[in-house]
Structure 1
Amino acid sequence: MSEQTPPRATEGGCPVAHGEDTTRLYGSGMEDFSHAVYAQLRTRHGGVAPVLLEGDVPAWLVLGYRENRRVLDNPLQFSRDSRIWRDFKEGRVDTTSPLMQMVGWRPDCVSQDGEPHRRLRGAVTDNLYAVAGRGIRRHVTHFANQQIDAFADTGRADLVADFSEYLPMLVLTRVFGLAAKEGRSLAESSKQVIKGGADALTHNERIMGILGELAARKRAEPGSDFASGLIKHHAALDEDEVVNHLRLVLITAHTTTSNLLARTLQLVLTDTTWLSDLVSGQVNMSTVVEEVMWNTPPLAVLPGRFATADLELGGCPVKQGDLLVLGLAAGNHDPGIRPDADISVRGNASHLAFSGGPHECPAQNIGQAIIETAVDVLLHRLPGLRLAVAPDELTSTASTWESRLDSLPVEFAV
């Protein structure tokens, strides 16, 4: 993320139009991504700031907690249907843009509102609940132990590369009815789709190819897996809808859960109070995860919403067809609702990490089950687990949508 010169023309604290002086939310400088940048934008613009996304595509970044809630809770004003996106309709964004992997229209529930959204989301949630009832924690325990077996005798590990980076995808292969051997390559492709850049389209096509083959196989030989459940659901999804919902759940469930798992491990290993309280039973894992979701939500910025009419948001003149991206991390640190970000938010679940409104994440309980089980297995398997470097040596890499921990070196007794 790079800062430009202050805007020249303002209206209600916001620039009237995006221009060269607008903040870029991509490219060089993203390594400096921090809450300090959000604070600077908030000081300059208030609860909504003009930004440029990859390819210098204009958007509004929603910074304020209340402004985020307004957008999330009002689909009639802020639609998820990108077919009304003015810059795309008028040819300023190409179908091959990396942004399209995140904000472009697809025949899935996140691209729809109203009754079409309810029909498709019902198929997803029904089958996620069914999956959760078929021993999701057992799958996590199996693959977590398998991952730990690879380094348990060495006394050292990187809990990002050796554990959190791939574990959720390995679980998802079992849930979807895929071969476990597909897990690592699918995890890498999912990460590249979220990251964006020139390779995003190639990785997305690879994912779609694998899932298309899976759907065809499950139509011929159904089982008790998520893919088979979508196919036979009473909502009668067509072939494109089935494959695109497999894609949606695969990418979002893996990338958000792997990121959140790494951040949860970071918290308990860098703050010994949390670890001791967890081990002694004074707090449970869900409380630790809630703290992480306030401080470092797995998606820092959520794509995207589109204004259905000219309106004002946070004093900014948003025009019909404008793209808005939701600053979940920024909203969670809005001083208007959280004046001291250093104070724990134990017991408060009103964070923005799972979005909100009709499009709130339907898989949050499954993600939390994966994390709680994985951390529990890890702490029991690795006695004396401790961070192998100073906490301030840990680094992260940011893209437009997320900030991921690079590594988490640890030591333990053997």
Structure 2
Amino acid sequence: MTGCPVRMYGPEFQSDPGGLYERMRSEHGPVVPVRMEGDIPAWLVVGYRELHQVMNDTTVFARSSSRWNAWHLVPADWPMLPMVIQLPSVLYTEGAEHRRRTGALTDALSGTDLHELRTTTARMADRLIDAFCATEGTDLRTSYTARLPALVLSWMYGLDDVRGDHLADNMNTMIDGGPDAMVAQQTLMAAMSELVADRRVRPGPDVVSRLLAHPAGYSDEEAVPELIVLLGGGNQPTAEWLGNALRLMFTDDRFGASIAGARNSVQEALNEVLWEDTPTQIHAGRFAAHDVELGGQLIRQGDLVLLGISGANRDPLVRSTAGRIGDRGSQAHLSFSHGPHQCPYPAREIAEIIAVTGVEVLVDRLPDIELAVPAGELRWRPSPWVRGVASLPVTFTPTDPYGGL
């Protein structure tokens, strides 16, 4: 079973991803032939069990993009190139080398004091809210949700707010996959090279210094792309997770109590978002180590297999199984990936602390906050890879800044 490939761009990925994945499944089954921008071929896995298999079986579905059989089709200015370009990082290594890098990153993140992280996140959230709370409204995406994770991660890296915002802007540009994607990646590489050189001379109590001092023995050339991967994996998805949860709370009556202070509903909203509007819709990817059958499709050696996380989370076969895996309260979603390349547990803890604290501080400070436009007017970012609102305009009663934070 193959069928006509689905083009991975267009308004449906933003306006109706659930309907789109349902139609994909109906026509192709759990593994869908697709064409990325530039007519580059790939396979998109939207079946939960099939994606679980791909994530777990690294001997068949390998991580190194050096295996890709379509490199000859990729132009030098391909906007998706940053998503697949072979860099010496934890994303693309395999076997013992991947375990070395994963262990070092996990240890570097584990050194973060979670109480201090929560306190710092609240302080930075207050600082951001101070900048707009005396007005009657703001776009939460630009003034809050897209900035808070970047500021916290910058603190974890030992950076100031200005440098953190600059890094976040370039990360967003790279992830969006537009014409400036490669320039943004090069800017990130230069900034991280400067930071690594500085931490070699002046180490501090930060993630960068802990990674450089780790027994894994990172060279500067290894550390730079690794830290960019870590920044991108922490900043972008957490910002969209926070924004998507707030959108849900503003538009769904079930979460109205959260705005009034029922904090247990904040966690429920955040978990539901991971099922319904997960920040990372599609991730690139895996590469077939040899010919293999998957979900009724013949995957050839070297084919690119895209991880359809959003589609798999919406798989109706999984949601109807015994035990209700797909219940919104369940943690069995694949939004943090699975298997050897899954998001390290300390990174999940850090992202959740940022998201929960970001919501709680906002609704505590502005208890009557609400959308400034009808819910139907909200628009999603133009990317099949990332799920997040393009803007989140809100209104509230003006209040005095806390100041001095």
Q: Same fold (TM over 0.5)?
A: yes
In the alignment, which residue of structure 1 is the partner of 2:74? 93
Query: Of 2, 26, 29, which residue of structure 2 is paired with 1:14?
Result: 2
| Residue 355 in structure 1 maps to residue 346 in structure 2 | no
Contact 1:164–1:261 under 8 Å retained in 2: yes
Contact 1:26–1:399 under 8 Å retained in 2: yes
Q: Distance in 1 between matches of 2:362 and 2:261?
A: 16
Q: Could you say if the C-alpha distance between residues 209 and 282 of structure 1 is closer, same or farther in structure 2, counting changes exceeding 3 Å? A: closer
Q: Distance in 2 between matches of 1:378 and 1:400?
A: 29
TM (norm. structure 2) is 0.92
In the alignment, which residue of structure 2 is the partner of 1:80? 63
State the aligned residue count.
393
User: What one-letter code is carried by the residue in structure 1 that aligns with 2:331?
Assistant: A
TM (norm. structure 1) is 0.90
**What's the CA shift for 1:117?**
0.7
Over the aligned positions, Cα root-mean-square deviation in angstroms equals 1.9
Q: Distance in 2 between matches of 1:346 and 1:199?
A: 37
In the alignment, which residue of structure 2 is the partner of 1:7? none
User: What one-letter code is carried by the residue in structure 2 that aligns with 1:394?
Assistant: L
**What's the CA shift for 1:313?**
0.5
**What's the CA shift for 1:185?**
2.3
Instruction: Spell out, residue by residue over 1:338-371, the C-alpha distance to the aligned partner (whole angstroms, 9 max, x if none).
Output: 259xx98343000011111111111111111001
Runs of 4+ in 1 over 4 A off after TM superposition: 27-33, 277-280
Could you say what secondary structure the match of 2:43 adopts?
A: strand
**What's the CA shift for 1:380?**
0.9
- % same residue: 37
Q: Could you say if the C-alpha distance between residues 294 and 57 of structure 1 is closer, same or farther in structure 2, counting changes exceeding 3 Å? A: same
Query: Of 11, 19, 41, which residue of structure 2 is paired with 1:58?
Result: 41
Q: Could you say if the C-alpha distance between residues 282 and 242 of structure 1 is closer, same or farther in structure 2, counting changes exceeding 3 Å? A: closer
User: What one-letter code is carried by the residue in structure 2 that aligns with 1:358?
Assistant: P
Query: Of 135, 139, 145, which residue of structure 2 is paired with 1:164?
Result: 145
Q: Could you say if the C-alpha distance between residues 148 and 193 of structure 1 is closer, same or farther in structure 2, counting changes exceeding 3 Å? A: same
Query: Of 154, 176, 179, which residue of structure 1 is paired with 2:160?
Result: 179
In the alignment, which residue of structure 2 is the partner of 1:126? 107
Q: Could you say if the C-alpha distance between residues 240 and 96 of structure 1 is closer, same or farther in structure 2, counting changes exceeding 3 Å? A: farther
| Residue 150 in structure 1 maps to residue 138 in structure 2 | no
Could you say what secondary structure the match of 2:125 adopts?
A: helix
In the alignment, which residue of structure 2 is the partner of 1:191? 172
Contact 1:14–1:49 under 8 Å retained in 2: yes
Q: Distance in 1 between matches of 2:367 and 2:132?
A: 13
Instruction: Spell out, residue by residue over 1:168-217, the C-alpha distance to the aligned partner (whole angstroms, 9 max, x if none).
Output: 11111111012211222222211111111221000000011111000000
Query: Of 18, 29, 34, which residue of structure 2 is paired with 1:46?
Result: 29
Could you say what secondary structure the match of 1:320 adopts?
A: coil
| Residue 141 in structure 1 maps to residue 122 in structure 2 | yes
Contact 2:249–2:258 under 8 Å retained in 1: no
Contact 1:53–1:400 under 8 Å retained in 2: no
Within a 5 Å distance, the mapping from 1:212-291 to structure 2 comes to 212-276=193-257, 279=260, 281=262, 283-291=264-272
Contact 2:288–2:303 under 8 Å retained in 1: yes
In the alignment, which residue of structure 1 is the partner of 2:403? none
Q: Distance in 1 between matches of 2:185 and 2:109?
A: 23
Instruction: Spell out, residue by residue over 1:126-181, the C-alpha distance to the aligned partner (whole angstroms, 9 max, x if none).
Output: 11111244611122112111110011111212211111011111111111012211
Instruction: Spell out, residue by residue over 1:91-123, the C-alpha distance to the aligned partner (whole angstroms, 9 max, x if none).
Output: 222455332311222111111122111100111
More RCO (CA 8 Å, sep 6+):
2
Segments of structure 2 that go 5 or more residues without pairing to the other structure are 399-405
In the alignment, which residue of structure 1 is the partner of 2:364? 380
Q: Could you say if the C-alpha distance between residues 344 and 307 of structure 1 is closer, same or farther in structure 2, counting changes exceeding 3 Å? A: closer
Segments of structure 1 that go 5 or more residues without pairing to the other structure are 1-12, 16-20
| Residue 369 in structure 1 maps to residue 353 in structure 2 | yes
In the alignment, which residue of structure 2 is the partner of 1:345? 327
Instruction: Spell out, residue by residue over 1:6-45, the C-alpha distance to the aligned partner (whole angstroms, 9 max, x if none).
Output: xxxxxxx224xxxxx4221136765545211111111110
Query: Of 277, 280, 287, which residue of structure 2 is paired with 1:299?
Result: 280
